[in-house]
Structure 1
Amino acid sequence: MLILEDLFYTEGHMWTRPEDDGTAVVGLTEFGQQRLGEIEAFELAEGTDELIRDEVFATIEGESGLEDLVAPLSGRLLAVNEAVLNHPSLVNTDPYEDGWLVRLEPSNPEELDDLLSPEEYAEYLEEVRMAEEEDDEVEDEEEFDE
């Protein structure tokens, strides 16, 4: 699983890259896009010009269904990746570069401190993987018992 060192992450599988000009770019992690399968659509919530941390700012649709995307930071929306609006599968092929979703001007840069470091995100993904394996084992045992 690709986890880049210059990004911050959320447990909701969003990434944030602070830029030198004080803006931040936000996208869906490789793990997040793999869980959704082939991305079919990306849509910003209606009237979104200000993102509020921990609130839904967009939806993304993949083979496994529709997923709400929660803002990792608060701030003024500066840009939406038009390429992703026109070709949502860019999130699958290049989630960290061409597949970015939005650029914003953070209203509270200290919120970055609340996001996961690459190491913390890797640990979190390991916990998720282990929990899923345990769930699979329980399902297998239940099927065997029937």
Structure 2
Amino acid sequence: MSFDTPDDRQYLESHEWALETDGVVRVGISDFAQDELGDVVFVELPDEGESVSQEKEFGVIESIKAVSDLYAPVGGEVVAINEELFDAPELVNDDPFGEGWMLEIEPSDESELDTLLSADEYEDQIA
């Protein structure tokens, strides 16, 4: 089975993606991860203004199959969360790289992005 892995973003081995735009990093989970989880029923996210650390837990995603921790691809301050997910968690399944995004982080150290996997490296990992 083939999964969508846009090459305009970077990935964590734990299946989160990061898309840096104008100094802000938008975060979500990969197509592979949402497929493995099955139907997402709940997402727990930090509040705006909270700090997160690279590769540390920032929230929880719950599906009909499992509960999984979510990990931050970069450290910094949470500047936005996708509140639509509280009422419509299925957006993570329907559009993991678009409407299903989770949060935006203003990174404290943009060089942390250099430690993430490219789309090709991530695809090799999930193959």
The TM-score with structure 1 as length reference comes to 0.82
Residue segments in structure 2 that go unaligned for 5+ positions in a row: none
Task: Look up the match of 2:103.
Answer: 102
**In the aligned structure 1, how far is the partner of 2:100 from the partner of 2:106?**
19
* Counterpart contact for 1:48–1:57, Cα < 8 Å: no
Task: Look up the match of 2:120.
Answer: 119
Among the aligned pairs, what percent are the same residue?
A: 36
* Counterpart contact for 2:48–2:81, Cα < 8 Å: no
More helix by share: 1
Task: Look up the match of 1:71.
Answer: 72
**2:72 paired with 1:60:** no
More strand by share: 2
The structure with higher relative contact order (CA 8 Å, sep 6+) is: 2
**2:8 paired with 1:9:** no
The TM-score with structure 2 as length reference comes to 0.94
Give, as a single letter, the amino acid of the residue that structure 2 aligns with 1:51.
V
Give, as a single letter, the amino acid of the residue that structure 1 aligns with 2:45.
L
* Counterpart contact for 1:27–1:100, Cα < 8 Å: yes
How far does the alpha carbon of each residue in 1:64-112 deviate from its partner, in whole angstroms, 9 at most, with x for none?
Answer: 1210111111010001101112100000000000000001101110001
* Counterpart contact for 1:44–1:59, Cα < 8 Å: yes
Give, as a single letter, the amino acid of the residue that structure 2 aligns with 1:116.
L
Superposition misfits of 4+ residues, deviation over 4 angstroms: 45-48
* Counterpart contact for 1:45–1:56, Cα < 8 Å: no
